[in-house]
Structure 1
Amino acid sequence: MSPDMVLSLSQKALEMALMLAAPVLLVTFFVGLIVSILQSATQIQEMTLSYIPKIIAAYLTVLVLGAWMLNKLLDYTRELIVNMPNWLR
């Protein structure tokens, strides 16, 4: 296994991790931002108030995009398993 191949596999793994994590992280970021703006507009400074909407948003995002995420992960895993004999030469 050459160093270029290792770098290529590492890059694909990082891209896959980012692609799967980005939707959940972006949705929770924007929900947190909206809740923070509402908290500062209404002057409610309860620290725990932002956690419940973020958890619900993350859950709903995984619920909506879970099939797509699982499909991407299965395709990536299938590609790794199929190409493994080529990498071990």
Structure 2
Amino acid sequence: MTPEIAVDLFREALWLTALIVAVIVVPSLLVGLVVAMFQAATQINEQTLSFLPRLLVILLTLIFAGPWLTRELMEFTKMLIMNIPMLIG
């Protein structure tokens, strides 16, 4: 395996990881921002008010995007397995 191939595989793995994390975290960040603005406007400082909506959004995101995320991971794994002869030789 040449260094270029190793760097390319590492780049693809990092991109897939960043994509998966972004799909899960970005909706949670947006809901957290909206809840924080609501808390600032109403001066309600309850921690569970911030935590529960974010948790529900992450759950819904995983329910709706989970099959796509799993498919992306499976395609990457298949690509790695199919390229084993090229990577070794």
Match runs of 1:31-42 below 5 Å: 31-42=31-42
Tell me by how many angstroms 1:24 deviates: 1.1
| Aligned Cα root-mean-square deviation (Å) | 0.9
Aligned partners of 1:78, 1:86: CA distance in 2, in Å?
Answer: 14
Match in the other structure for 1:88: 88
Tell me by how many angstroms 1:45 deviates: 1.3
Runs of 4+ in structure 1 off by over 6 angstroms are: none
Tell me by how many angstroms 1:48 deviates: 3.3
Tell me by how many angstroms 1:4 deviates: 0.9
Tell me by how many angstroms 1:77 deviates: 0.5
Aligned partners of 1:26, 1:59: CA distance in 2, in Å?
Answer: 13
* 1:9 maps to 2:4: no
Per-residue CA deviation, residues 34-82 of structure 1 (Å, 9 max, x unaligned), is 0000000110012332111111100000101111111111111100000
5+ long unaligned stretches in structure 1: none
5+ long unaligned stretches in structure 2: none
Tell me by how many angstroms 1:23 deviates: 1.3
Aligned partners of 2:52, 2:84: CA distance in 1, in Å?
Answer: 43
Partner SS state of residue 16, structure 1: helix
* 1:78 maps to 2:78: yes
Instruction: State the identity %.
Output: 34
Match in the other structure for 1:48: 48
